[in-house]
C-alpha cells in the first residue's frame, strides 16, 4: 500500500550545512500491516513518518500510496503525536471532532461516530469533560480517537506513548493492539522502545543514524493476539536481541535479558 | 487506570476559586481601609502645616471644589471616556488583523515591522499638533493619538499568541488539508486568546494615557482639557479631582477587561497552563 523507493531527504541547517536525515530508504508496506520504526535519536524515523504523511517531500526518490506519489497531505491518513496536543478550550468530544470540522466533513452521524470511538478507548461518559481534567494516558486516548474519527486507512504514530509513564505505556500498547484488531489499518509506529516495537509489529524496521538508513527489517512471527507475556517467548527474545545488536552493536547486549 | 485521577485534579482548583470570606476581606476591605487612611494622613498634613491649596490641596478641598462643578466634571469625564473607548475599539480593530498579517509570512512581517516601530518611535506629543492640522480640530486626531499610544503592545502580544500554537497542531491542520482561514479560526486565534487579553489589559491602560495626551494638545472638553484649564487659573483642587477620576477610570476599565476574560474565556485565565 505504501511504497518508499530510494527515498533521501536532506535538510538545510541554520548554519548552512546540509544534514542528511534519510538516505536511500526503500520500504514496502502492505495493507493493514503494522510496522514499527525503531532506532536511536536522529535516525530519521520522524522524517520518514512525515514523508508518508505528505508533510515534507523527499529530496530524492519516490514515496507512493496506492501507486499515487505523495506530494501533499491526504485526508485518509490519521496522525498521533508524542504530545496529545488537544485544544484546551474544547471538550473531549469537540477535540475528537476537530479533523472533521477542519475538513468540512461534519454530518449528522459525526457526533455518534466520535462517541463510539471514545467508547472504544474506554472514555464513554467523558465527552463533555475538558482535556485538563484528564490524565496523560486519557488525553493520548482522545488524541488517538481524533486521529481515527475521519476513518483513515493509514495511521501514523510518532512516539505516541513516549511521554507516558511505564505502566500506562504498557496498558496503552495493549489498547492499541485491541483497537487495531477491531478496526484494521495500515499503521506506521515510531518508537524508542524495543519491547513496544516487537510486541506491536508485524515487521520492525530498525534504523541507524547519520545518515538515517534502514539497518534491517525484522519479521515478528509471534502469533496474535499478543500481550507483554510474549516477552518470555523465544521468537520475541531473538528479535529483541537482534534489534539490540543492530542499535548498540554487541557492547550493550545482556545475554540474560533483552527487554527494553 | 486513571479514572480516579481526574476528580482530585479538579477539586483543589474549585476550592481555590471559592475563596473563604477572609480572602475577600484581605482583597477588598484592607485596601479600602489603607486608602482611606492615606487620605486622612494627607488631610492631616495639609491642615497641620497649612499647605497652600494652590500647591497641594487637602482631599477635602479636592472633594468640595470638584463636587461644586459636578455636572461640568461629569461632562468632561464622559468626553474622555468616549475618546478612550473609541481609541480602544479602533486599536483592537487595527491590531488583530495586523497581528494576523505579521504572522502570515516572514516577507509581510519584514515589510510591516519598520512602520510599526516608526509609529512607536515618533513622540506622540510632538505628533499631536501636526495631526490636528492634518485631520482638523475635532475628535479624529484625539482618537488617532489614542490608537497610536495604545495599539502596539496589543499587536505584539497577539502576534506572539498566534505563533504560540504547538507545531503538531499546525501539522494536524495541514494533514487535514484545512484552509488557512479555518486554521486561524479554529486553532490559532483561540490559542492566542490569553496573549490577546494580556495585550488588551496594557492597551486599555495606555488608551487612557493617549486620550489625555491628545486632550492636552487639542480639545474643548475632557479631563485632560480640564486639568490644563484649571491649573492655568490656579484651581489646583479641580485638577487633582480630574486626576483622581482619571485613575479610577483606568482601574475600572482594566478590571472590566479582566472580568470579560474570566466570563467569556474561563479556560484562558490561567495563562500558564494553556500550553499543557
The reported pLDDT for the residue numbered B20 is 60
CA B161 and chain centroid, separation: 18
Q: Which set of grid coordinates corresponds to residue B125?
A: 506629543
CA–CA dist A166, A186 (Å, integer): 26
| Cα four-point dihedral sign A106, A107, A113, A118 | positive
Predicted model pTM: 0.81
Residue whose entry in the numeric block shows the C-alpha cell 487633582: B240
pLDDT above 80: residue A257: no
Q: What are phi and psi of B11, to 5 degrees?
A: -60, -50
Chain B residues with a Cβ under 8 Å from any Cβ in chain A? 1-2, 5-6, 9-10, 166, 168-169, 171-178, 182-183, 186-187, 190, 193, 265, 267-268, 273-274, 276
Q: DSSP character for B246? A: H
Q: Cβ B176–A53 below 8 Å, yes or no?
A: no
A225: cis peptide before it, omega within 30°? yes
Mean pLDDT score across all residues of chain B:
84
Distance from CA of A192 to the nearest CA of B (A): 19
Residues 6+ apart with CB under 8 A from B65: B57, B235, B237, B238, B241
Q: Does A53 touch chain B (CB under 8 A)?
A: yes
Neighbour count for residue B250 (Cβ, 10 Å): 18
Is the confidence at residue B12, as pLDDT, over 50?
Answer: no
C-alpha cell at A183: 478496526
**Cα–Cα dist A18/A10, whole Å:** 6
Residue B210, CA distances (Å) to A98, A185, B87, B203 in order: 42, 61, 9, 10
Cα–Cα distance for residue pair A198/A202, rounded to 1 Å: 8
Sign (positive or negative) of CA dihedral A132, A76, A58, A247: positive
Nearest to B2 among A79, A132, A138 (CB): A138
Q: How far apart are CA B213 and CA B169, in angstroms?
A: 44
B31: left (phi over 0), alpha (psi -120 to 50) or beta: alpha
Cell of A203: 515487521
**A55 in reach of chain B (CB within 8 A):** yes
* Mean predicted confidence (pLDDT) in A133-152: 92
For residue B174, what are the β-bridge partners? none
Cα angle at A141 between A153 and A180, to 5 degrees?
35
Residue A37 DSSP symbol: E
Task: Give residues 33 to 52 of A whose Cβ lies within 8 Å of B.
Answer: 50
Tell me which of A241 and A252 has the higher pLDDT.
Answer: A241
Residue B24 has a pLDDT of 72
Between B176 and A256, name the one with better pLDDT: B176
Min Cα–Cα distance to chain A from B156, Å: 23
The answer, yes or no, to whether residue B1 has pLDDT greater than 70, is no
Report d(CA B221, CA B223) in Å as an integer. Answer: 7
The C-alpha cell at B2 is: 486513571
SS3 at position B179: coil
Q: Which three cell numbers stand for residue A72?
A: 501533499
Q: Given strand A186-191, what is the order of strands in its sheet?
A: A77-80, A154-158, A186-191, A34-38, A203-208, A213-219
Best probe of the A interface among B176, B197, B273, by most A CBs < 10 A, is: B176
C-alpha cell at B246: 482619571
List helix spans (H) across A104-165: 110-120, 136-148
Contact A7, A60 (CB under 8 A): yes
Instruction: Say what the pLDDT of residue B27 is.
Output: 77
A163 alpha carbon, distance to own chain's centre = 14
Asked, as a colleague might, if the bond just before B171 is cis with ω within 30 of 0, I would say: no
Distance CA B104, CA A232 (A): 54
By the 8 A CB rule, do A160 and A118 touch? Answer: no
CA separation for the pair A50, B138 (Å, rounded): 58
For testing the chain A interface, which of B5, B8, B169, B175 should be mutated: the one with the most A CBs within 10 Å? Answer: B175
* pLDDT class of B189 with cuts at 50, 70, 90: very high
% of chain B with per-residue pLDDT over 70: 89
Contact of A174 with chain B, judged by CB distance below 8 Å, is answered with no
Q: Which phi and psi angles does A209 have, rounded to 5°?
A: -90, 170
Please name the residues between 124 and 143 in chain A that touch chain B, using a CB distance below 8 Å.
Answer: 129-130, 132-138
Contact B176/A102, CB-based, under 8 Å? yes
Q: Which of A160-174, B22-36, B220-234 is least confident?
A: B22-36
* pLDDT surpassing 80 at residue B18: no
pLDDT in tens, B25-48: 777 888 889 989 998 998 888 888
Whether the per-residue pLDDT at B52 is higher than 90: the answer is no
Residue B4 reports pLDDT greater than 50:
no
Q: Which of the 8 DSSP states describes residue A221?
A: -
Determine the Cα–Cα distance for residues B201 and A24; give it in Å rounded to an integer.
54
Q: What is the ipTM of this complex?
A: 0.85
Exposure string over A190-224, b if 16+ CB within 10 A, otherwise e: bbbbbbbbbbbbbbbbbbbbebbbbbeebebeeee
Taking only residues 69 to 128 of chain A, the set having a beta carbon closer than 8 angstroms to any beta carbon of chain B reads 72-75, 77, 79, 81, 83, 85, 87-89, 98-99, 101-104
In angstroms, what is the C-alpha Rg of chain A?
Answer: 19
Higher per-residue confidence, B242 vs B22: B242
Nearest CA in chain A to B264: A89
pLDDT for res B10: 44
Radius of gyration of chain B (CA): 24
Q: Are B143 and B111 in contact (CB under 8 A)?
A: no
Quick one: cell of A14? Answer: 541554520
Task: Classify the C-alpha dihedral B183-B184-B189-B195 as positive or negative.
Answer: positive
Alpha-carbon distance of B16 to A196, in angstroms, equals 41
B109-142 burial by CB neighbour count: b if 16+ within 10 A, else e? eeeeeeebeebeeeebeebbeebbeeeeeebebb
pLDDT digits (tens, 9 = 90+) for B132-170: 888 887 889 899 999 999 999 999 999 999 999 999 999
pLDDT tops 90 at residue A126 = yes
CB contact under 8 A, B267 and A72: no
Instruction: Report phi then psi at A84, rounded to 5.
Output: -60, -30
Comparing B163 with B234, the larger pLDDT belongs to B163
Q: How far apart are CA A161 and CA A205, in angstroms?
A: 18
Amino acid at each position: 500500500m505504501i511504497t518508499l523507493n530510494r527515498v533521501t531527504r536532506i535538510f538545510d541547517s541554520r548554519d548552512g550545512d546540509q544534514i542528511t536525515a534519510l538516505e536511500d530508504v526503500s520500504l514496502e508496506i502492505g495493507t493493514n500491516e503494522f510496522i514499527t520504526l525503531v532506532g536511536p535519536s536522529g535516525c530519521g524515523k520522524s522524517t520518514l513518518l512525515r514523508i508518508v504523511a505528505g508533510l515534507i517531500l523527499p529530496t530524492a526518490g519516490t514515496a507512493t500510496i496506492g501507486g499515487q506519489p505523495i506530494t501533499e497531505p491526504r485526508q485518509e491518513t490519521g496522525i498521533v503525536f508524542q504530545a496529545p496536543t488537544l485544544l484546551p478550550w474544547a471538550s473531549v468530544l469537540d477535540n475528537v471532532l476537530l479533523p472533521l470540522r477542519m475538513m468540512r466533513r461534519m454530518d449528522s452521524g459525526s457526533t455518534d461516530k466520535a462517541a463510539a470511538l471514545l467508547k472504544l478507548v474506554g472514555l464513554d461518559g467523558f465527552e463533555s469533560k475538558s482535556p485538563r481534567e484528564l490524565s496523560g494516558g486519557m488525553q493520548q486516548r482522545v488524541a488517538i480517537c481524533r486521529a481515527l474519527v475521519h476513518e483513515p486507512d493509514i495511521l501514523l504514530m510518532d512516539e505516541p506513548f513516549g511521554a507516558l509513564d511505564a505502566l500506562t505505556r504498557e496498558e496503552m500498547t495493549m489498547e492499541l493492539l485491541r483497537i487495531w484488531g477491531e478496526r484494521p489499518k495500515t499503521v506506521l509506529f515510531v518508537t524508542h522502545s524495543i519491547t513496544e516495537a516487537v510486541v506491536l509489529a508485524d515487521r520492525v524496521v530498525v534504523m541507524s543514524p547519520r545518515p538515517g538508513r534502514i539497518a534491517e527489517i525484522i519479521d515478528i512471527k509471534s502469533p496474535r493476539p499478543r500481550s507483554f507475556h510474549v516477552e518470555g517467548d523465544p521468537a520475541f527474545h531473538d528479535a529483541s536481541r537482534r534489534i539490540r545488536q543492530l542499535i548498540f552493536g554487541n557492547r550493550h547486549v545482556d545475554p540474560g535479558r533483552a527487554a527494553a | 487506570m486513571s479514572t480516579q485521577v481526574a476528580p482530585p485534579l479538579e477539586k483543589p482548583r474549585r476550592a481555590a476559586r471559592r475563596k473563604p470570606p477572609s480572602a475577600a476581606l484581605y482583597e477588598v476591605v484592607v485596601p479600602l481601609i489603607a486608602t482611606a487612611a492615606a487620605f486622612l494622613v494627607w488631610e492631616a498634613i495639609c491642615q497641620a502645616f497649612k499647605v497652600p491649596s494652590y500647591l497641594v490641596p487637602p482631599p477635602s478641598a479636592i472633594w468640595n471644589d470638584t463636587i461644586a462643578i459636578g455636572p461640568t466634571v461629569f461632562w468632561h469625564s464622559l468626553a474622555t471616556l468616549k475618546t478612550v473607548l473609541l481609541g480602544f475599539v479602533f486599536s483592537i480593530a487595527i491590531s488583530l488583523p495586523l497581528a494576523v498579517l505579521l504572522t502570515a509570512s516572514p516577507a509581510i512581517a519584514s515589510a510591516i515591522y519598520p512602520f510599526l516601530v516608526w509609529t512607536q518611535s515618533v513622540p506622540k506629543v510632538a505628533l499631536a499638533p501636526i495631526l490636528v492640522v492634518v485631520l482638523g480640530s475635532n475628535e479624529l486626531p484625539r482618537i488617532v493619538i489614542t490608537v497610536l499610544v495604545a495599539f502596539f503592545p496589543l499587536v505584539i502580544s497577539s502576534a506572539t499568541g498566534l505563533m504560540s500554537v504547538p507545531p503538531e497542531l499546525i501539522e494536524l491542520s495541514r494533514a487535514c488539508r484545512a484552509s488557512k482561514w479555518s486554521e486561524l479560526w479554529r486553532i490559532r486565534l483561540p490559542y492566542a486568546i490569553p496573549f490577546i487579553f494580556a495585550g488588551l489589559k496594557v492597551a486599555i491602560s495606555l488608551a487612557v494615557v493617549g486620550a489625555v495626551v491628545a486632550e492636552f494638545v487639542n480639545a474643548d472638553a475632557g479631563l485632560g482639557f480640564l486639568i490644563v484649564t484649571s491649573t492655568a487659573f490656579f484651581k489646583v483642587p479641580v485638577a487633582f479631582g480630574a486626576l483622581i477620576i482619571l485613575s479610577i477610570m483606568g482601574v475600572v476599565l482594566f478590571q472590566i477587561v479582566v472580568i470579560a476574560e474570566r466570563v467569556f474565556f474561563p479556560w484562558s485565565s490561567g495563562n500558564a497552563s494553556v500550553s499543557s
